[in-house]
Chains A and B, each alone.
Chain A
């Protein structure tokens, strides 16, 4: 019964995504950017659904299982502040420039802004390298969900492959319009089912108050932040949500907006959506200690699904598991589409590969090439998902650290006329170098913080990459005034 419900859900998602195909206008801009016609509500749902992934459901509950209530302040309320501010200061400007110059991808924008092909190529490689672990979080999360909810009857890889096929299917057919529609549906589903899961499980545990009283007896340390999260860690973690500024899939969704005013609702409603999704995840993660004590490390990523299977078996478990899959797929689809778009626009078309005279590919050919590229990326990610056993939360944090470290690029591109391509190169190289260094440290020592004082590596890398942008730019010749008027008109 559980599996039937999940299959029905996946079929519904596929149908919504592909039905939007009927509305396609047959142009590349429509396939990749929905012809820039997305209104406030669908924009909010797309942005939020894209941003929230297995990280915020499975990873958050797993982390709350180990570290308690402080996980909400660490990741959720920091996102509730930083993400809307990033939307406010960056999205309208990006949207205006995208509309004016016809950009479809982030790489295209930066390449044009600093007039450097090499910069575009480097950025493309960095984006792919950072997106693969992000895809891994989703693919692994989907596999874990199906495996747990069926009591191990469905191997993890089957769930991962099944979900990947569904996502590939509707993204390939429906483009970004299909993705936006599916995201809206799935975001509503995972928000509603997340709340349902919360009320159902707490009710079966005798009510929220009674369940929490039991936690007070068994593990009181989980109900306060001290002992788990250092003050400097809480402060420096504020840099992590800045990653949203550099996600290529979020950038693409910004460009789909109907108008600048469409960003008002996402900016205002985003913190509320964060609370709706994260409070149940964190609370259920803490309560998981009552029924499933002793989970070690990444095992806790499954605690939410284990609770669903215990307290809501059968059809309800299928529905609730569908809610988890909804969160996962609503991110995977946009990530896949952004990868596909970057590959076709910024590599194949830009360099004239696959054509005899270096011409651009037609829309149909571009989409085909993009699909082949995405299938290859999915295959690599699936292979990694079967071999890597890191905590979803920690994997996500490293991925976000990389994107956040590149934030000086977009800020300088939009606000600092004096910034140069050397500054941009310096930012990327310094961020990449330090990221590799700190990742190595974190790999050897889980829970690593700089100097052991709770300072997150992202804060150090971000500071260094910002300084690199300033120094690199000031040491080189300013961009020509005529070129700047394209980005900073009177």
Chain B
């Protein structure tokens, strides 16, 4: 017997797995570790992670809504 598919409307694909791995890697922004530059009043490290949150949302949005028509 096979287990139920990886959730009915959220079926995991190879592309999604790769995107998640890239997101985990991007979280470890060692290249900004010592950088205290201010951009638009915010430290660059904070600005980067603010953009990172938006990127995560975008990637997840592409994934979960792309599957909407194929339950």
Q: Which residues of A contact B (CB under 8 A)?
A: 69-70, 72-73, 76-78, 80-81, 84-85, 88-89, 92-93, 96, 207-209, 211-213, 216, 220-221, 223-226, 231, 234-235, 238, 260-261, 263-264, 267-272, 274-275, 279, 282-283, 415, 417, 481, 484-485, 488-490
Contact = CB atoms under 8 A, between A and B. Distances in A.
A223 B57 contact: no
Which of B23, B49, B60 gathers most chain A CB within 10 Å? B49
Nearest to A213: B38
Interface string B32-44: 1111101011110
A269 B71 CA distance: 21
A268 B1 contact: no
Interface string B1-36: 111100111100000000010011001111011111
A92 B49 contact: no
Contact of A268 (B43, B46, B52, B61): B61
Given A264-B64, A264-B68, A89 B7 contact: yes
A279 B10 CA distance: 30
A415 B12 CA distance: 14
B50 A275 contact: yes
Contact of B33 (A88, A226, A269): A226
Contacts of A78: 27
Given A69-B46, A92-B10, A275-B50, A224 B27 contact: no
Which of B1, B46, B68, B71 gathers most chain A CB within 10 Å? B46
Contacts of A283: 42, 46
B24 A77 contact: no
Given A85-B20, A88-B10, A490-B1, A69 B43 contact: yes
Contact of A269 (B1, B7, B41, B57): B57
A224 B38 contact: no
23 contacts: A69-B43, A72-B46, A72-B49, A72-B50, A77-B27, A77-B52, A77-B56, A89-B10, A208-B42, A209-B38, A209-B41, A212-B38, A212-B43, A216-B36, A225-B34, A260-B8, A264-B65, A264-B68, A271-B60, A272-B54, A415-B3, A417-B3, A481-B1
A261 B70 CA distance: 12
A267 B7 CA distance: 14
A224 B28 contact: no
A235 B30 CA distance: 11
Contacts of A223: 36, 38, 43, 45
Q: Is the interface of A mostly helix, strand, loop or mixed?
A: helix
Contact of A224 (B2, B34, B40, B57): B34
Contacts of B3: 415, 417, 488
A24 B7 CA distance: 31
B60 A274 contact: no
Interface of B: 1-4, 7-10, 20, 23-24, 27-30, 32-36, 38, 40-43, 45-46, 49-50, 52-54, 56-57, 60-61, 64-65, 68, 71
B33 A231 contact: yes
Given A92-B7, A93-B4, 6 more contacts: A72-B49, A80-B57, A208-B42, A220-B36, A231-B28, A283-B42
Contacts of A226: 33-34
A216 B56 CA distance: 30
Contacts of A270: 57
Contacts of A92: 7-10
B27 to A, nearest CB: 6
A275 B42 CA distance: 14
B68 to A, nearest CB: 7
Contacts of B27: 73, 77-78, 81, 234, 238
A279 B45 CA distance: 12
Contacts of B30: 231
B33 A271 contact: no
- 3 interchain residue pairs of minimum CB distance: A208-B41, A209-B41, A223-B36
Contact of B4 (A212, A225, A488): A488
Contacts of B36: 216, 220-221, 223-224
B8 A81 contact: no
B10 to A, nearest CB: 6
B42 A77 contact: no
Nearest to B12: A89
B35 A224 contact: yes
B70 to A, nearest CB: 12
Contacts of B9: 92, 260-261, 264
Contact of B64 (A88, A211, A231, A272): A88
A341 B24 CA distance: 36
B45 A224 contact: yes
Contact of A225 (B24, B33, B42, B65): B33
